[in-house]
Structure 1
Amino acid sequence: MAALGLAPALGSESTPVSALEVARALGALQAQDYGSGVWSLGVRSGLTLAEVEQAVERREVVRTWPMRGTIHWVPAEDARWMCQLLAAPRGAALATRYAQLGIVEGDIELAGRLFEEHLAEPMSRPEVIALLVDAGIDPTDQRAYHLVGHHCMTGLLCQGPVIGKQPSFVLIDSWVPHSRKLSREEGLATMAERYLRGHGPVTEKDLAGWLTKPLGLVREALSLVEQQVTREEVDGRVWLSHIHGPGDGCVNHSARGALGHSGVHLLPQWDEFLLGYKSRDVTLPPEHFHRVVPGRNMVFKPTLVIDGEVAGTWRRAQRSRQTVVEVTPFVPLGAARWRDVERAATAYGRFLGVDVEVVRLDPDGVA
């Protein structure tokens, strides 16, 4: 929890930190859903939604496709080299999908030329789709999504600010004032160091899963920062920590929760707390996995986390003009814990800029 910037949080309402600091601290934060992604930044920084969006406007952080074929928040200055080093726009899985959709090399090249010509300023998703249609490219069945994603993975594009309620896309060269240039070794070392510092303790397989890279590459990356790594075997697993991470590198626990009590958090659907690891059994009890991922299809529900362990789920709902947070714990909560949930919901409401009412549901989902 401490490494993940949650307990204690990196920033608070009284002493917030920037979205850029959060992105640097964790390396990247999964953000394919916009509402989930902005709360991942907000819950750690003490910023409001408006302030996170201002950080995007100031070009501190961007959303793009650096790894795992999905969207993450990353420091704007690192977006290009991260995509070029870690993304796999020519990977076998995408090649298969392109073939299924009838996307050919000519479509990819034409889309790239269109983007270079027209996306010097942010363009909303509907406008980008119209651009493809006008050029004779069929955008249906996620073809537009894959073409845009491909050119984000190559480092040509990134997402800009939201336009209306739509994501926008823009040339990185036009949007990002300064893109860092790192060698392959510098990039691998940076990602390994940030991951260890922002997620530890972890295993080699956790880092391999986070990057979707083979263990050989992961071990190469770790060797580049070996002087900053501590290793400890617990219950047959070798855990890696950063020497300057929380607890000074001591793996004095059997799970990734904070040492002692870390409080109550309402975490977003796609958060590094679960998505940042290959092994989730230490924070999500296996008997409750189906309640967080009911389809067992990697579509997660937002989670109630108590003292470093998933203890329930929640969802935001709109009732008339009232924003409510429906909380379903896995086991009944006492009065003190419900007060903690209320405080967490109040923090979420402050982030959104609205008053929030908590609706208490029993473990069966009944109010």
Structure 2
Amino acid sequence: MTTTDVTWTRASARRLARQGLTVQGLTAQGPAGREGPEGAGLGSPADVVGAMLGAHAQVMSAAELSTALRLPAGTTRTDVREALWSDRTLTKTYGPRGTVHLLPTADLPMWTGALSAIPAGPDPWPDDVRMTPQQTDEVVEAIRDALAGEPLTVDELTEAIVDRTGPWAGDRVMEAFQDKWPRWRQAAHTAAHRGALAFGPNRGRKVTYTSPGVTPADGPRAVPELVQRYLHAYGPATPAHFAKWLAAPPAWARDVFAAQATAGRIEEVVFDGAPAWVVSGDTAFPDSAPPQGVHLLPYFDAYLIASRPRERLFPGAAYARALAGGQAGNYPVVLVDGTAAGVWHQRRSGKRLLVTVEPIGPALDSARARTALAAQVDRVAEILESRAELTLSTVSVGPHA
């Protein structure tokens, strides 16, 4: 049996196309049996968020930009907000790595089933702060009961949880942003993963929580589905890549991949000279030409987080400049032909969007690249409903600023 040999260039071209970040056409079949050009069918915010396996939404404007950039010209942040709060085809909740994400509402049974099946890692909280497993279960059920009605603010939910569990759940013992949070909040992401909690629309400046109205799928069914979707979007990949992306135990990820290989659902390829995995039968890749295009990707864009090996996505000086201690997402990145070639920063001034781009290396030196960069800046401004002004200079702000 001949093993497929996949280069970084071919893999990155397919990953970009499958997320709607290129217009290259390559017929393939996705894990759910959909056929057509790569990136075809991404006609709505929910389609896009599903294709990239969640939009990181700790910074909501970044999630809106990540999503709209992958949709046709004319799409703005308002379209993403309508999908989230009006159409409810998107849900804001705790996703991979226990961080806030937008996820397709239709996919919540799979997501909650898979995320709740991941073994818990070491508890990071001190002994006098952490909750026991029994207390965590009590809090999750209290949240589920409290959110059966109208959305609640943090303070309202805290009061409801304390009423149902006891004062220990409301003790302000968690260090958080020069403040202290009530003890129960260490279980917020667990409650979301068990289908008990999601974010509701803000009430003024106050965050609210609501019930997602979802029953998690069985873990043994949901985890293999998540592996299929992950490999379709970001393969070839290894169990270690999958574990990093999910913040899951590496040994668990190895066992999951081994079981999927035994079941014939995934197959091994050679990726840049080392073994990696794709969905069985999903071995068609573009030719050796590098992917084309310039993209301004915001904080914690899914492509930057999930694409590995990271040293190929951030080559040379980009590894030191565009990452924060090796962690992707802390800087918005200028992607040129599939690799990091700069960092950028935006600042609003009324209706003006002041965009500073700091090139890394020569990739932005050509007239073609500069023209594409200017067009991408205009597209970002369109999404954010503003007027763009571009400056090429050093980005002086630090990570996640």
Could you say which structure has the greater relative contact order, defined with CA pairs below 8 angstroms and 6 or more residues apart? 2
Cα distance change, pair 335–187 in 1 and its aligned pair in 2 (3 A): same
Cα distance change, pair 55–357 in 1 and its aligned pair in 2 (3 A): same
Q: How far apart are the structure 2 equivalents of 1:111 and 1:208? A: 25
More deviation in 307-316 or 141-150?
141-150
Give the AA of the match of 1:75: P
Matched, 1:44 2:79: no
CA displacement 1:43-64 (0-9 Å, x = unmatched): 1123321111111122212122
What's the offset of the Cα at 1:231? Answer: 4.0
8 A contact 1:209–1:278 mirrored in 2: no
Matched, 1:20 2:46: yes
8 A contact 1:267–1:305 mirrored in 2: yes
Matched, 1:274 2:307: no
What's the offset of the Cα at 1:304? Answer: 0.3
**1:341 is matched with which residue?**
373
Q: How far apart are the structure 2 equivalents of 1:159 and 1:122? A: 9
| TM-score, normalised relative to structure 1 | 0.80
Cα distance change, pair 122–244 in 1 and its aligned pair in 2 (3 A): farther
Residues 45-60 of structure 1: pairs in structure 2 closer than 5 A: 45-46=71-72, 47-57=75-85, 58-60=87-89
**2:12 is matched with which residue?**
none
Matched, 1:250 2:290: no
**1:172 is matched with which residue?**
212
Q: How far apart are the structure 2 equivalents of 1:357 and 1:318? A: 10
Given candidates 207, 219, 234, the residue that maps to 2:242 is 207
Q: How far apart are the structure 2 equivalents of 1:223 and 1:71? A: 33
What's the offset of the Cα at 1:293? Answer: 2.3
**2:127 is matched with which residue?**
99
Cα distance change, pair 168–221 in 1 and its aligned pair in 2 (3 A): farther
SS at match of 2:125: helix
Q: CA RMSD in A?
A: 3.4
Given candidates 91, 108, 111, the residue that maps to 1:62 is 91
More deviation in 235-244 or 21-30?
235-244
Q: How far apart are the structure 1 equivalents of 2:103 and 2:348? A: 30
Q: How far apart are the structure 2 equivalents of 1:232 and 1:89? A: 26
Q: How far apart are the structure 1 equivalents of 2:190 and 2:102? A: 17
What's the offset of the Cα at 1:85? Answer: 2.5
8 A contact 2:147–2:209 mirrored in 1: no
8 A contact 2:293–2:372 mirrored in 1: yes
Q: How far apart are the structure 1 equivalents of 2:143 and 2:241? A: 38
| TM-score, normalised relative to structure 2 | 0.74
8 A contact 2:50–2:104 mirrored in 1: yes
What's the offset of the Cα at 1:300? Answer: 1.7
Give the AA of the match of 2:62: S
Given candidates 352, 357, 360, the residue that maps to 2:389 is 357
Matched, 1:146 2:186: yes
Give the AA of the match of 1:195: Y
Q: How far apart are the structure 2 equivalents of 1:275 and 1:106? A: 33
SS at match of 1:300: coil
Residues 73-84 of structure 1: pairs in structure 2 closer than 5 A: 73-84=102-113
Q: How far apart are the structure 1 equivalents of 2:147 and 2:83? A: 24
Q: How far apart are the structure 1 equivalents of 2:346 and 2:300? A: 14
Q: How far apart are the structure 1 equivalents of 2:229 and 2:39? A: 18
What's the offset of the Cα at 1:309? Answer: 0.4
Q: How many residues align structurally? A: 348
% of aligned pairs identical? Answer: 21
Q: How far apart are the structure 1 equivalents of 2:268 and 2:59? A: 35
What's the offset of the Cα at 1:241? Answer: 3.8
**1:256 is matched with which residue?**
none
